[in-house]
A and B are shown apart, each in its own frame.
Chain A
Amino acid sequence: MQTRRDTLKQSMAVASLLAATGLFPRDAFAFNKAAFEARSIADVAKAYGAGAPTESKDVTLTAPDIAENGAVVPMAVASSLPGIKHLMVLVERNPSALVAKFDVTDAVEANFSTRAKMGQTSDVYAVAITNDGKALYAKKEVKVTLGGCGG
């Protein structure tokens, strides 16, 4: 079995190699500025060419009820539906709603976990955009608490 340390060593070695070969296509690095500046869930969906979002049981959002600290809030988005193009996590009351957008391919499951920053207690959305331009969502309120000595 490979230890974590070996993995690391290997990672560092290949890093420069991959960079040098230019293995990653440039178009993989598109960044949808409009989507990341949008304030509402609907505007984010629109920025990705989808219609008005509707609530759906086929989209799953995993997030805690209470976050001990808003700086790191675990969130997972998943969908059981076929034909999902994008999965996104959004925090409604953040300065910009969109946290992350993942592209689904045949090679990965429609299931991603990441961690978001939350400025305050807010509804959190998991949104799925289908190949035919539908936006489906699940939502949940996550409370952000004040912790520690507060100084």
Chain B
Amino acid sequence: MADPMRIRAQASGSNAVVRVLMSHEMETGQRKDSAGKVVPAWHITNVTTALNGKQVMSAEWGPAVAKNPFLQFTLKGAKAGDKVSVTWKDNKGETRTDEATIS
């Protein structure tokens, strides 16, 4: 199973800045291993975010997003104590969801 994400969510005024680190290889499918064989692409394709259970953001990613991806975005109308969850899914169908409380 994939390692957990690190989610930091901080309220500022009526907004909250969310910073996420995800543990993922983000293999491009362009690289060859030491035996000269192409390493197949393996990357996150979709990211969604929910605020208190309601989806607020979605994204599509290609293999050019850097390994162990970083994502930052700002939630409108969020306050300390609200719950932010982030879900990713990759091209192998693996998925992971983590949640954090806005501080």
Where the two chains meet, the residues of A that have a C-beta atom closer than 8 Å to any C-beta of B are 1-2, 4, 7-8, 10-12, 14-15, 18-19, 23-25, 28-32, 35-36, 71-74, 76, 91, 94-96, 98-103, 105-109, 111-118
- For the complex, would chain A's binding face be called helix, strand, loop or mixed by DSSP majority? mixed
User: Across the interface, which residues of B come within 8 angstroms of A14, CB to CB?
Assistant: 85, 97-99
User: Across the interface, which residues of B come within 8 angstroms of A113, CB to CB?
Assistant: 70-73
Q: By the criterion CB–CB under 8 Å, are B97 and A15 in contact?
A: yes
User: Across the interface, which residues of B come within 8 angstroms of A74, CB to CB?
Assistant: 70
The 3 closest A-B pairs by CB, nearest first: A11-B98, A107-B56, A113-B72
Give the residue name and chain of the A residue nearest to B59 (CB): A102
- For the complex, would chain B's binding face be called helix, strand, loop or mixed by DSSP majority? strand
Q: By the criterion CB–CB under 8 Å, are A11 and B4 in contact?
A: yes
Chain B nearest CB, measured from A114 CB (Å): 5
Q: By the criterion CB–CB under 8 Å, are A28 and B65 in contact?
A: no
Return the contact of A114 from the options B51, B71, B98, B103 (Cβ within 8 A).
B71
Give the residue name and chain of the B residue nearest to A16 (CB): B97
Return the contact of B66 from the options A10, A19, A98, A115 (Cβ within 8 A).
A115
A35, A98, A107, A118 interface centre (most CB from chain B within 10 Å)? A107
A24, A35, A109, A111 interface centre (most CB from chain B within 10 Å)? A24
Q: By the criterion CB–CB under 8 Å, are A107 and B51 in contact?
A: yes
Given contact pairs A15-B99, A105-B56, a sample of 17 additional A-B residue pairs in the complex whose CB atoms are under 8 Å apart? A8-B6, A10-B100, A10-B101, A11-B4, A12-B4, A14-B97, A15-B98, A23-B50, A25-B55, A29-B45, A29-B48, A35-B60, A95-B30, A100-B65, A106-B76, A108-B57, A108-B73
Beyond A4-B6, A112-B72, whether A71 also contacts B65 by CB under 8 A is no
Return 20 A-B CB contacts under 8 Å, by A number: A7-B7, A7-B101, A10-B101, A11-B4, A11-B7, A12-B98, A19-B95, A19-B97, A25-B55, A29-B45, A30-B46, A32-B60, A96-B64, A101-B60, A102-B58, A108-B74, A114-B65, A114-B72, A117-B63, A117-B64
